[in-house]
Structure 1
Amino acid sequence: MNILSAGQHEAEATAAAGRVLQLPNDADPAEADLAGVTRIELHFPKFTDGRAYSQAFLLRRRLGFTGDIRATGDVLIDQLVQMQRTGFTSAVLKEGKDVAEAQRQFDRFADFYQGDAVQPAPHFVRAEA
């Protein structure tokens, strides 16, 4: 997962204009026109609002979106692993959070027994292969 500071995100925003879709939390991803879109930004207004997790999963698994799904808003470090598992590929950390500390989360939780949006096969199937 690509972890960005707010400053890095703002710098990228101007370079990717026209190919980015900002999807509101109450929008149905199935109704969005994804033609030509390379990045979809899903916003977390509060860390307790998890609608963007469902949107990311739908975009990745059911709609087959292969571009960047980016988490913005109230993004905390302890949410990053679950974000990756539901289909996010990048996240913009809340102001004041350390990118290096965020990366350590992925070192702590390197593999999972269950399948997810990124790796649909459960661990026992992967182990047999």
Structure 2
Amino acid sequence: MPLLKNGKEVTEDKWVRVEDDADLPEDCHALVSMGRWLKDRETLLTRNKPIGVALESSDNPDEIMDDLDRFSLIAVDFPQFKDGRGFSYGRLIRHRGGYQGELRATGGVLVDQLHYLARCGYDAVDGDARITESAWAEANSRFREVYQPTGDGRKTVMQKRHAG
């Protein structure tokens, strides 16, 4: 699957997903599950390499909100395109939690969802094979007006109506 960061294709992903029962490699950017982070937090904090956490749709992002500044990457799984919990997780993590690192959507992400992912704070996508640089650009320029408020600074239709 293609990986895009800020709308640009990335050919090499430096992150390695480490299974819960596997030894943690010392020489790489490690991506661990939320369960492993919660279980091995103190040990993981002693690493000299970047650490990331992968959230499943059944995880509760509130459990890592106090640790957001510890992660260089937060990867949120979209198990299927019709599961919208990842959009809410992105908003919670980026806008309420103030997370500044890479927020990546993974799994069942479709081209049609790119605009909404960006509005929810995602800056990287690893999903549908049709996700390309041109698809990202087109998706994020498709809608001139927005209805839902987010942290991206765009005024909603309602805000514009009441301003005039």
TM-score, normalization by structure 1: 0.77
Alignment match of 2:78 (pick from 30, 36, 44): 44
Provide Cα deviations, 1:12-56, integer angstroms capped at 9, x if missing partner.
Answer: 324633421111211111111324212100011110111111111
Q: Which structure's residues are more often helix, by fraction?
A: 1
Partner of 2:29: 16
Matches within 5 A, 1:57-72: 57-72=91-106
Aligned residues: 125
Gaps of 5+ in 2: 17-27, 31-49
Q: Which has the larger radius of gyration?
A: 2
Higher relative contact order (CA 8 A, sep 6+): 1
Q: Distance in 1 between matches of 2:91 and 2:29?
A: 23
When residues 50 and 13 of structure 1 are mapped into structure 2, their CA distance, relative to the original with a 3 A threshold, is same
Alpha-carbon distance in structure 2 between the residues aligned to 1:13 and 1:110:
35
What's the TM-score, normalizing by structure 2? Answer: 0.62
The percent of aligned pairs where both chains have the same amino acid is 29
* 1:49-83 C-alpha deviation (Å, 9 max, x unpaired): 11111111111222221222110111111101111
Match of 2:112 among 66, 75, 78: 78
Preserved CA contact (<8 Å) 2:74 2:104: yes
Distance in 2 separating the partners of 1:25 and 1:4: 26
List structure 1 segments (4+ residues) > 3 angstroms apart after TM superposition: 96-99, 120-125
- Long gaps (5+) in structure 1: none
